[in-house]
Amino acid sequence: MRSDSFALHFCVFLLLLKCEIKSAAILRDTDVDQCSEGSDACHIDAICQNTPTFYKCTCKSGFKGDGTHCEDVDECLFNNGGCQHVCVNTMGSYECRCRHGFFLSDNQHTCIHRSVEGLSCMNKEHGCEHICRETPKGGVSCECRPGFELAKNQRGCILTCNHGNGGCHHVCEDTEHGPVCRCHARYMLQTDGRSCVERDDVTPSSSDHNATSLAEVDKRVKRRLLMDPSVLFTSYETCAVNNGGCDSMCKDTSTGVRCSCPVGFTLQPDGKSCEDIDECEFHNGGCDHLCRNTIGSFECSCRKGFKLLTDERSCQDIDECFFERTCDQTCVNSPGSFECVCNKGYTLYGLAHCGDINECSVNNGGCGHVCENTMGGFQCRCRAGYRLHWNKKDCVEADGAPVVMVPLRPTLNCSKHGGAEHCFLTCQSQVNISNGAEDSYTVTCGLPLPGSSGGGHRGDGGTLCSGSDSSCTHRIKTTATFKWGQGKCSLKRSPEKLTESFSMALSDKKALATENVQFSFVSLHCNSSSLRQRSRHGRKAVEDESSSITALFELDVDPEEVTAEGCDLSCVKRRSEKRLKKTLRTLRKSINREQFHLHFGSSEYELAKKPARAADGPEPCGPGQVLRDRKCVNCGVGTYHSSEQGRCVPCPPGTYQDEEGQLVCEVCPGPKGRAIPRTAGARSVAECGGQCSPGHFSHDGVVPCRPCPRGSYQPEVGRTSCLPCGGNLVTRHEGAVSFQACETKVQCSPGHYYNTSTHRCIRCPLGTYQVEFGQNFCVSCPGNTTTDFDGSTSVTQCKNRHCGGVIGDYTGFIESPNYPGDYPANVECTWTISPPPKRRILIVVPEIFLPMEDECGDYLVMRKSSLPNSVTTYETCQTYERPIAFTSRSKKLWIQFKSNEGNSRKGFQVPYVTYDEDYQELIEDIVRDGRLYASENHQEILKDKKLMKCLFDVLAHPQNFFNYTAQESREMFPKSFIRFLRSKVLRFLRP
């Protein structure tokens, strides 16, 4: 079986092996650093150190040998490895296990009885000499400070040689009763049991611990004693006696012993002692960021947000934005960090998530009558007999309402000319363009149906009514996807000649007009995708780029089409749906023939295939962007991208733009026919000019304006009235701009709002919060989030409680709710992983953050089923920043996370992969080896989401190995990590 699957095994891990297999037998005339090149013959478990002529190999801690061949040291043979119950030897390390009825404590050596009574550390009788910890299953666990070990009674702590060499001057040996000090040859132990002084009489003494008998002297010394008895009265040393007094290596010479030290140590002036070389003291060990000295060597590491490169010295910024789960909407990478940014109308919560802002929760959104929240915005509507003012918030009587500049709706015109369909989508106002990642963009025009997300499924319908109002908006909503051949998504301005000919085609009397539809809302999302095709030799050939457009259309049903002849509202809706389907068929034909154009403001655009990037030039920019310092950046607020000038231009007077990367500016609101002073480059409606400023009002919202009278306030521009304080409250001055100017009887603190009826401060209810002092409202939490308790003071206390479910067959994530923000209280999540047949589960826990003081109220458990006595794979209720990888002990996995009402923390994001069970022996050999976690650099690899994604991708689908080039393979992992895996793979493949 193993020989039959050799090729498949090799393909999966060739990515890790190919860049390391080099010849070590090539002779060189000049000195070459074989260690850095990886051409040394050192064993995988040895340290390589370059020398002026060659290199040295020294076995790592936990191994023994000459460096070219290293064997594992069985730590369990000596003192049972320090384990209280069972010691299990592993490669380069060992692990302790407990007998039935006990579990391993946090020090990983002692075993704790599963207490039924549940002794608490709060009980003074816990008996721990140093540290007391409460255990997950009840009871307590005693631990000792560094340099001490737990006594047999599991309560006391015994000093070890690891703590200041046990206080010994020379040699320290650990015993059951504590450290015992000994001295080198020619020294004797003092009465304090620690200090060593040189002997006055060098003649051996049989009563001294450090004396040596004649039988311990080698044959050469014996012969010399017989030939020359006077030697007895002279000082003579030999490696056969106490290793010649050397700390490490000893060699007999004609002049006496010669001591030497292993790689990474230096011989001290006494000629005997070896001291570790602190490589970090000289030029930081060559490390970019952090250098950590180790016994006989050193290790470079990087600050958080950076990763170590393959030279194991340099650090490179981690692009967190590469990982698609980092942010809900926009991710901005920066050196060592990143920032999540939300679109307009959304706010950030949980550090990475974007939720819709419910503007209607604050002063009714400023609406005079009815406020309707929408995804990313809101709309004000008026009751019967009233019409919406031009400021889109106040309501005025229908008869006396001023003439309002009604925004033009998006219109689709299609005609058939020369046997081909030509379509033109016109958007004159309420246009928004957003550039996504990987050559994608979204264009929206008009106002979406309130309460919808701008998405939906084909055939969705919607109805918008306010109370008992007879004026209802019945709307049809549908989506369609159009594929338009090869090439990347791009918007480019149509050439003038093409625009003229296209306009003539639409206006040509001979052309057959097929469609003329006015929509309420249109959304076009263009997405580019690439398909890598393999060549005969297994390497990727040409990337096939293709694009698709997902369109959302919302169409209002005209109630005037209802007739007395029997066509009711349902009949009119069916007719509209039929007409809409016919329009989509026509639009599909025009897109397929590349005869679809967009009209924004005074410019016309066409869907274009993005040109290939020149070999020495940057990639062309997307819509609404310009090139600066070889990077594409969005046009800023208050500007738009002018196709004629090819640059960002300030919005002309009478228009504004409050978003980046747009192609047109919005028209400033105002009554028609009145000359109102306007400003250029307006970044919001408030900067348009000519409107009443906050704290002021007028009958039409424009100058001249009057200040709000005492007892009222107005926080917005261009309003026709002011808001009363309520409760007979007054303001100190006229022209107040917020409720905080109203003289309340008490000032409410954050997390409260002022009730003008009872004149008391009320705690904000669940699902709301208040950041400021002295307000009369609470803000609703964004999206589908809520708070753990009432009286919340920040949006960070709004948390998403969604979690759990049945997850993917091959790869996926188990994530605490609201991650990476703090998870909510009193939540229970359950996941189930059911791999396909003949596949097993590998899980990596990079880090997990749970509160330490919660007495295991929050925990994560993974077992075979929901039954408490089923086979358990993993269980924890504490914070662990050190990663761990393990395979499931069962073919299926039931996972549960539960929190109580106490403190909460960041939680976890745990990736998993299912792999072919033929690899079971290899995967378990890797994850159970302590060397995988011994190095900080290896730990960082297990935390690197990009690297783990690549590794899991190949494990789940071995054919995806061919998606990585040789260069990508070499730069992916540090050499030490590749050598570690190579040894495992070669052992697995060895017949």
Least Cα distance to 723 among 404, 388, 385, 365 occurs for 365
Q: Which are the contacts of 16, defined by CB distance < 8 A and separation ≥ 6?
A: 969, 973, 978, 981, 982, 985
pLDDT of residue 470: 44
Least Cα distance to 885 among 839, 925, 937 occurs for 925
If you write DSSP's letter for every residue of 702-714 in order, what string do you get?
Answer: BSS-EEPPTTEE-
Q: Which are the contacts of 779, defined by CB distance < 8 A and separation ≥ 6?
A: 358, 361, 362, 768, 769, 770, 771, 795
pLDDT of residue 861: 92
pLDDT of residue 440: 75
Q: How far apart are CA 767 and CA 378, in angstroms?
A: 19
DSSP state letter for 485: E
Q: How far apart are CA 628 and CA 642, in angstroms?
A: 16
pLDDT of residue 111: 73
CB 635 within 8 A of CB 624: yes
Average pLDDT per 10 consecutive residues for the chain, totaling 991 residues:
42 42 38 72 81 80 84 84 84 82 70 57 68 68 78 81 73 81 82 79 42 41 47 58 84 85 88 90 92 87 87 88 84 89 90 92 90 87 87 80 54 80 79 69 76 44 44 74 73 59 52 74 79 47 66 80 69 83 85 80 64 51 80 87 85 86 82 71 83 90 91 92 92 93 92 92 94 93 93 94 86 93 94 92 93 80 89 88 87 92 90 91 85 78 85 86 72 76 78 56
Comparing 242-276 with 801-989, is the CATH topology the same?
A: no
CB 548 within 8 A of CB 526: yes
Q: Omega of the bond prior to 868 within 30 degrees of 0, cis?
A: no
Q: If you classify domain 357-398 with CATH, what class do you get?
A: mainly beta
Q: How far apart are CA 546 and CA 439, in angstroms?
A: 11
pLDDT of residue 768: 95
Q: If you classify domain 242-276 with CATH, what class do you get?
A: mainly beta
Q: Which are the contacts of 146, defined by CB distance < 8 A and separation ≥ 6?
A: 162, 163
Q: How far apart are CA 315 and CA 303, in angstroms?
A: 8
Burial class (CB in 10 A: 0-12, 13-18, 19+), 310: middle
Q: Where are the domains of the chain?
A: 75-113, 242-276, 283-317, 357-398, 411-610, 801-989
Secondary element (H or E) of residue 589: helix 569-592
Return the structure tokens found at 606. 């066409």
Q: Is the pTM of this model over 0.85?
A: no
Return the structure tokens found at 596. 């679809």
Burial class (CB in 10 A: 0-12, 13-18, 19+), 751: buried
What is the biggest distance separating any 2 CA atoms in the chain, rounded to whole angstroms?
138
Q: Assess if CATH 3.20.20.70 describes domain 801-989.
A: no
SS3 700: coil
Instruction: For the domain made up of 283-317, give the CATH fold.
Output: Laminin (2.10.25)
pLDDT of residue 114: 57
CATH number for the domain formed by residue range(s) 75-113? 2.10.25.10
